[in-house]
């Protein structure tokens, strides 16, 4: 050790070797140790200097060959740290949730502190940058009047360390739920983000296939159960069951509401391409990188000129010049910054952000690359006037003049589609790369774009409820009249009511649309009607309310690379569901999980 004074010392949880067959397994304590100076982020004392000690097993042990009676002598060489042991260049984390987590090379944090950071993200949309500012300021206040201890490391927590802590704790909790052990590379050159890449990707793929753990959730706010006397949770119901759903006594009526919220991450500029970008600042993925040398005007295949994103055609050069001039306008910058930080600012303290300020850490950023004339696909529209001028225009404005469109900046995914139960539980989430609504620019493009969205949504519904008996009896969606036409011959949607929520049906659906009025009008389904003076039993506007919450992460996750983006949103949803479930229990909603 050293004679330098510190607040505490962090030891491994076990002082015995955990390798089967090693002589130090249960009889002899590990003796070889090494200590180093680190920083511990605490809840009540702030950031304090501590020592971290890890133990090393240098013993030899023997194993018997399974095919013979020969013994093999092996060296143990296992390094034991507070949260994990290192075996063959792999970190094998201990099962369970520890009280202290190592979140950096020389940084540790109490689990209660990490949970505080995550709660700030969950309930107030606080970015990691602002979490760090709040904690560092609070830490300084807690240590006022205390003697200063010289320490070789900065005691201020960084946003990167907070995100690494968030990722590690979330993965450990997920492993605890799945009853598995977290194993990641130990290579010294890897930072936290890269070390957990494979584990993050594996969890993302599992949730994409299996949805949230609450997929089979039910409670008396999102599901109606009918007994032989048509009583609902013991309360007599006078609702007449709609014959078109074939509901019988001892059956249920469950409801899911679908809607999209326009947040997204940078993606490849080639339509339908979902290959991740090498860097969040790239315009195209590695497979389509050659498009960077092609003119940015849509439909033009000429090579670009040096120092430009367009070819040598005069009207294309004029369009780029107009686009760049708009970007230099102080008014435009102010308006763009307002939209880029729509819900909550990513950084509460100005760091001299300009239009060229960009971050490439794939975590959170303040890059500003939108303007008034960028459409939902990230494209800029220009009108070519009869007198030869090129002026920017809004994409959905009708005009008889010739137009051109260009993709000067990065394309972003369009929206996140959410499946939400009327009680507020989020069941599933998926990124849509195309617009959710119609575009009025070109009729052919409009029909194709709508068809792509409807097909994606249809497949998402079937994938989410692929197990027999899991499909809800009712699905609310504001464009269900088109979905209903598309799936009318699909057996997966037999006996599924496809209705439009009350607000959209009154405001956005024509009374002259006979198909919509007959098949998507919620009044046509008495089982949706309320009792005891309530007009409706189910809250069909819950998705809009949930979107308001998810939209608050726009400025936080807009610069995240795709894997971290998905992991962050899925974890926020999981924690929100946990909080919602507890509220439902306290309200007597009797939440549970259906078994299939």
| 180, 66 contact by CB (below 8 A) | no
Q: Could you give the percent of the chain with pLDDT greater than 90?
A: 36
pLDDT digits (tens, 9 = 90+) for 435-445: 544 332 333 33
pLDDT digits (tens, 9 = 90+) for 330-375: 445 555 555 555 555 555 443 443 333 333 344 555 444 444 445 5
Q: What pLDDT is recorded for position 59?
A: 64
Interior angle at CA 425, CA 534 and CA 258, nearest 5: 80
In the predicted model, is pLDDT for residue 30 greater than 80?
A: no
- Rounded-to-integer distance, Cα 134 and Cα 139, Å: 9
Q: What pLDDT is recorded for position 69?
A: 55
* Band of pLDDT at residue 248, cut at 50, 70 and 90: low
Q: What pLDDT is recorded for position 468?
A: 86
Q: What pLDDT is recorded for position 231?
A: 39
| 415 vs 183, residue with greater confidence | 183
Q: What is the mean pLDDT of the chain?
A: 78
For residue 315, how many other CB atoms are within 10 A of its CB? 15
- Rounded-to-integer distance, Cα 574 and Cα 277, Å: 26
pLDDT digits (tens, 9 = 90+) for 50-96: 999 988 887 655 555 555 555 555 667 888 899 999 988 899 999 99
| 40, 8 contact by CB (below 8 A) | yes
Nearest to 203 by CA among 247, 173, 226: 173
Superfamily holding 213-264+413-593:
Ribonuclease H-like superfamily/Ribonuclease H (3.30.420.10)
- Rounded-to-integer distance, Cα 283 and Cα 278, Å: 10
Q: Burial of 500 by CB count in 10 Å (0-12 exposed, 13-18 middle, 19+ buried)?
A: buried
Q: What is the mean pLDDT of residues 542-550?
A: 88
Q: What pLDDT is recorded for position 152?
A: 79
Dihedral over alpha carbons 117, 119, 120, 124 (to 10 degrees): 160
| 442, 461 contact by CB (below 8 A) | no
Q: What is the mean pLDDT of residues 119-147?
A: 91
Q: What pLDDT is recorded for position 332?
A: 52
Q: What is the mean pLDDT of residues 526-542?
A: 79
pLDDT digits (tens, 9 = 90+) for 566-580: 999 999 999 999 999
- Rounded-to-integer distance, Cα 383 and Cα 403, Å: 5
In the predicted model, is pLDDT for residue 376 greater than 70?
A: no
- The three-class DSSP label of residue 323 is helix
Q: What pLDDT is recorded for position 483?
A: 85
Q: What is the mean pLDDT of residues 523-538?
A: 78
Q: Would the pTM count as exceeding 0.85?
A: no
Q: What is the mean pLDDT of residues 277-289?
A: 93
In the predicted model, is pLDDT for residue 210 greater than 50?
A: yes
* Band of pLDDT at residue 448, cut at 50, 70 and 90: very low
Side-chain half-sphere CA neighbours of 248 within 13 A? 0
In the predicted model, is pLDDT for residue 288 greater than 90?
A: yes
- Rounded-to-integer distance, Cα 542 and Cα 478, Å: 12
Q: What pLDDT is recorded for position 63?
A: 53
| 164, 192 contact by CB (below 8 A) | yes
Transcribe 102-161 into DSSP letters.
E-SSSEEEEHHHHHHHHHHHHHH---HHHHHHHHHHHHHHHTTTSPP---SS-----HHH
- Rounded-to-integer distance, Cα 33 and Cα 57, Å: 9
In the predicted model, is pLDDT for residue 244 greater than 80?
A: no
What are the residue boundaries of the structural domains of the chain, listed by start?
A: 8-195, 213-264+413-593, 268-412
Tell me which residue has tokens 């107009």. Answer: 322
For residue 547, how many other CB atoms are within 10 A of its CB? 19
| 467, 210 contact by CB (below 8 A) | no
- The three-class DSSP label of residue 391 is strand
| 529 vs 438, residue with greater confidence | 529
In the predicted model, is pLDDT for residue 326 greater than 80?
A: no
Q: What pLDDT is recorded for position 371?
A: 43
Residues in contact with 236: Cβ distance below 8 Å, sequence separation at least 6, in sequence order: 229, 230
- Rounded-to-integer distance, Cα 558 and Cα 571, Å: 16
* Band of pLDDT at residue 302, cut at 50, 70 and 90: very high
- Rounded-to-integer distance, Cα 35 and Cα 175, Å: 29
* Band of pLDDT at residue 292, cut at 50, 70 and 90: very high
| 439 backbone dihedrals φ, ψ, rounded to 5° | -115, 135
């Amino acid at each position: 050790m050293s004679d330098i004074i510190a607040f505490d010392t962090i030891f491994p949880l076990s002082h015995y070797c955990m390798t089967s067959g090693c002589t130090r397994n249960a009889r002899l304590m590990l003796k070889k140790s090494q200590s180093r100076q680190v920083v511990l982020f605490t809840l009540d004392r702030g950031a304090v200097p501590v020592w971290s000690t890890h133990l090393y097993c240098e013993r030899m042990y023997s194993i018997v060959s399974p095919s013979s009676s020969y013994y093999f002598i092996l060296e143990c060489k296992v390094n034991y740290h507070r949260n994990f042991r290192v075996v063959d260049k792999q970190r094998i984390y201990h099962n369970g949730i520890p009280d202290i987590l190592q979140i950096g090379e020389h940084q540790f944090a109490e689990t209660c502190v990490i949970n505080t950071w995550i709660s700030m993200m969950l309930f107030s949309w606080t970015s990691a940058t602002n979490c760090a500012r709040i904690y560092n300021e609070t830490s300084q206040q807690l240590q006022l009047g205390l003697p200063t201890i010289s320490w070789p490391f900065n005691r201020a927590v960084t946003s990167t360390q907070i995100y690494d802590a968030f990722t590690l704790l979330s993965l450990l909790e997920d492993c605890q739920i799945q009853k598995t052990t977290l194993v990641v590379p130990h290579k010294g050159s890897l930072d936290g983000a890269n070390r957990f890449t494979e584990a993050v990707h594996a969890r993302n793929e599992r949730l994409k296939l299996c949805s949230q753990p609450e997929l089979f959730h039910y409670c008396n706010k999102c599901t109606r159960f009918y007994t032989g006397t048509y009583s609902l949770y013991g309360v007599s119901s006078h609702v007449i069951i709609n014959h078109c759903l074939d509901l019988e006594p001892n059956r249920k009526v469950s409801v899911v509401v679908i809607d999209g919220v326009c947040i997204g991450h940078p993606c490849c500029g080639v339509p339908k391409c979902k290959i991740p970008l090498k860097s969040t600042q790239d315009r195209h993925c590695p497979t389509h990188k050659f498009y960077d040398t092609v003119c940015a005007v849509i439909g033009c295949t000429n090579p670009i000129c040096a120092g430009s994103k367009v070819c040598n055609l005069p009207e294309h050069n004029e369009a780029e010049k107009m686009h760049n001039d708009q970007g230099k306008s102080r008014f435009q910058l102010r308006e763009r910054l307002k939209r880029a930080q729509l819900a909550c600012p990513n950084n509460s303290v100005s760091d001299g952000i300009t239009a060229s300020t960009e971050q490439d850490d794939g975590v959170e950023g303040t890059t500003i690359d939108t303007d008034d004339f960028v459409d939902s696909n990230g494209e800029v529209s220009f009108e070519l006037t009869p007198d030869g001028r090129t002026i920017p225009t809004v994409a959905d404005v009708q005009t008889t003049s010739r137009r051109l469109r260009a993709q000067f900046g990065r394309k972003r995914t369009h929206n996140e589609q959410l499946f939400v139960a009327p009680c507020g539980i989020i069941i599933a989430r998926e990124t849509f790369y195309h617009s959710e609504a119609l575009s009025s620019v070109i009729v052919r493009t409009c029909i194709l774009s709508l068809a792509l969205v409807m097909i994606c949504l249809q497949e998402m519904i079937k994938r989410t409820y692929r197990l027999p008996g899991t499909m809800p009896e009712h699905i609310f969606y504001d464009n269900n009249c088109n979905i209903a036409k598309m799936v009318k011959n699909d057996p997966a949607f037999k006996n599924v009511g496809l209705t439009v929520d009350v607000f959209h049906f009154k405001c956005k659906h024509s009374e002259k649309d006979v198909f919509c009025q007959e098949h998507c009008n919620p009044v046509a389904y008495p089982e949706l009607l309320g009792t005891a003076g309530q007009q409706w039993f189910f809250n069909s506007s819950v998705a809009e309310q949930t979107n308001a919450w998810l939209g608050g992460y726009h400025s936080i996750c807009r610069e995240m690379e795709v894997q971290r983006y998905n992991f962050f949103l899925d974890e926020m949803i999981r924690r929100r569901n946990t909080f919602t479930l507890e509220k439902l229990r306290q309200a007597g909603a009797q939440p549970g999980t259906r078994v299939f």
